[in-house]
Amino acid sequence: MIGRPPYHARIAVASILAGHWIAVPSLGRAQEASDSALGVVDFPVSCSEPAQAAFEHAVALLHHMTYPEAQAAFIRITELDARCAMAHWGIAMTLFQPAWPTRPGPEELERGWEEVENATRLGPPTERERMWVASARAFFEDPASTDHWARIRRWERAMGALHEAFPDDDDASALYALAHLAAAPADADSARARSARAADLLLGVYAHNPEHPGAMHYLIHANDRQGREHESLDIVREYETIAPRNPHALHMPTHIYTRLGDWGAVIRGNLLAAEAALEHPAGEHGELVWDEFPHAIEYLVYAYLQQGADDRAAAQIERLLGTPRLQPSFKTAFHLASTRARYVLERRAWAEAASTVPREPATLDWDRYTWPEAIQWFARGLGAVHTGELEETRGSIRRLGELERAATTAGEELWARNIRVLRLEEEAWLAHARGEGEASVTRMREAAELEVSTPKHPVTPAPTLPAHELLGDLLLERGEPAAALAAYTRALELYPRRFDGLLGAARAARATGEDDAARAYYRALLEVAVGSARQDALEEARAFLGDR
């Protein structure tokens, strides 16, 4: 709106007019300290002046996916201005999370529909606001339906219509880009094309408003794709500074840093994100630990393991397990399963892996979380095949097949594809243990091809174990070092600077007589291994390099 000061210049006045609205119980201490860090939002609505400034603050929180605080802020707006229809749109928007497969339950769907109806009854006076309400209606209509992806596609179409009607509306463009990403099919090529389209939209918003939180945030999601990780790195670095105590903002750049293998940056960002997440409680009364906390912990564990800093990874897992009242969500289930699986599998601690007990902790509804459960069975089965317990591995494979079918039936194709990769990898190792050499390699190559053709989900830093890396392990064990080196090379192209990828590549190069390549991989390993506890590998590298 012409003539209005930008959001960050209005916030102090709004705080006084609104009577300390920032200090509602669900809002964290970090937000009181620096609202301007949330970025610049200019989203005019037909509400009172105090409600207008409060609304833009809430939208900024929404763009940062700080859903608990955003919901509290939108609720407060209904108290500031009972006629503000768009506040009810905002409440509805906090009840689903487009970038995550966290499905709204029946209560959230019913409440979202009620908020859309509330907004409609208040009669938004402009066509633009009516279209915003209609976009939320597209998602929440038919509350009894369980087809989440139909809801996402309806929301995408409604956001596309809004963007087309108001192409200069930054928030419409940003959320349309997010909807475009959320509705992407579960194959990498289609997802990459959608990412490029979304990135173009977001760069347009960024050119108009370089401090728009959605533009920077969603651009990172768009570039969290194989082959796009080097795009707009200046914006990635800038995003680190826009909300220094906002947990999701602190975390988001580390999606790209993980793809680049910059483990120090991953650790730096997620130590801060984990601390900030504890300052931003979840739940209606702020009684739960927001699932941004386990999300940050997973990325920390992954980065520490790539440095060989196993003790630090273990400490973060203990920190996670020792935190009570974790938000019972898909993200929490995934990270509880994945961190423990990674810890045993990255260390090749096969006996520990074989002792994995799936569906723990029992307090979570594992029937809703097929992929997280599958990761537990994968760790158990892969450990068992390496310790000679082949019947245990067969049982694990059977369960992975059941979980894959359940995910497919539920319409979760991305989950099903990830579970299928895990099943194929276990079948490959089981075939190898039986002496079925060609079948084992065929199965593992199939897993690797499927993994490459499947877009990485934002919940995870990387596959549980990269399939090309496992292919290298298998080929090396079969006495085929040249083929193993090719597999490790591809694995490191996809997932650079991984400890086990570098070690495997060095060993394969050494076995083929490619000493220069072996030296390069061993040197890279020593550079990565900051504080490593894996002394045998480091001694091996130093001995080959003559650095004793």
Residue with tokens 């219509």: 161
Mapped onto helix, strand or coil, the DSSP state of residue 356 is coil
Q: What is the pLDDT of residues 379-396, one digit of tens each?
A: 999 999 999 999 999 999
Of 291, 231, 230, the C-alpha closest to 262 is: 230
Which residues are CB-neighbours of 480 under 8 A, at least 6 positions away?
Answer: none
User: Does position 11 have pLDDT exceeding 50, yes or no?
Assistant: no
The pLDDT, as a whole number, for residue 243 is 56
> For residue 2, what is the DSSP state?
T
The pLDDT, as a whole number, for residue 478 is 97
The pLDDT, as a whole number, for residue 101 is 59
Q: What is the pLDDT of residues 234-285, one digit of tens each?
A: 999 888 776 558 888 899 999 999 999 999 999 999 999 999 999 988 887 7
User: Does position 12 have pLDDT exceeding 60, yes or no?
Assistant: no
Q: What is the pLDDT of residues 56-115, one digit of tens each?
A: 999 999 999 988 899 999 999 999 999 999 999 999 999 998 877 567 889 999 999 999
User: Does position 23 have pLDDT exceeding 70, yes or no?
Assistant: no
Of 335, 334, 345, the C-alpha closest to 467 is: 345
Buried b / exposed e along 468-481 (16+ C-beta atoms within 10 A):
bbbbbbbbbeeebb
**Helix, strand, coil tally for the chain in percent (to 5):** 70, 0, 30
The pLDDT, as a whole number, for residue 324 is 95
C-alpha distances (whole Å) from 200 to each of 135, 196, 205 are 22, 6, 9
The residue extents of the domains of the chain are 488-548
The pLDDT, as a whole number, for residue 185 is 81
C-alpha distances (whole Å) from 407 to each of 168, 315, 344, 400 are 40, 32, 26, 10
The pLDDT, as a whole number, for residue 285 is 76
Of 177, 187, 228, 245, the C-alpha closest to 32 is: 245
Average pLDDT over residues 422-439: 97
Of 151, 124, 146, 24, the C-alpha closest to 76 is: 24
User: Does position 137 have pLDDT exceeding 60, yes or no?
Assistant: yes
Distance between CA atoms of residues 30 and 424, nearest Å: 46
Q: What percent of the chain stands above pLDDT 90?
A: 81
More confident residue, 533 or 380: 380
Q: What is the pLDDT of residues 160-214, one digit of tens each?
A: 999 999 999 999 999 999 999 999 888 888 888 999 999 999 999 999 999 999 9
The pLDDT, as a whole number, for residue 55 is 98
Peptide bond into 124 cis (omega under 30): no
The pLDDT, as a whole number, for residue 34 is 41
Distance between CA atoms of residues 170 and 178, nearest Å: 12
Distance between CA atoms of residues 35 and 276, nearest Å: 15
User: Does position 2 have pLDDT exceeding 60, yes or no?
Assistant: no
Distance of alpha carbon 325 from the chain centroid: 21
Which residues are CB-neighbours of 270 under 8 A, at least 6 positions away?
Answer: 250, 251, 254, 296, 297, 299, 300, 303
The pLDDT, as a whole number, for residue 28 is 37
Distance between CA atoms of residues 261 and 528, nearest Å: 9
Say how many CA atoms lie within 13 Å of 387 toward its Cβ: 17
Average pLDDT over residues 113-134: 98
Average pLDDT over residues 333-342: 98
The pLDDT, as a whole number, for residue 105 is 86
Phi-psi region of 435 (alpha: psi -120 to 50; beta: other; left: phi over 0): left
User: Does position 321 have pLDDT exceeding 50, yes or no?
Assistant: yes
Cα angle value 403/405/411 (rounded, 5°): 105
Distance between CA atoms of residues 449 and 236, nearest Å: 29
The mean pLDDT of the chain is 91
Residue 214 tokens read as 């959605």
Q: What is the pLDDT of residues 455-506, one digit of tens each?
A: 999 999 999 999 999 999 999 999 999 999 999 999 999 999 999 999 999 9
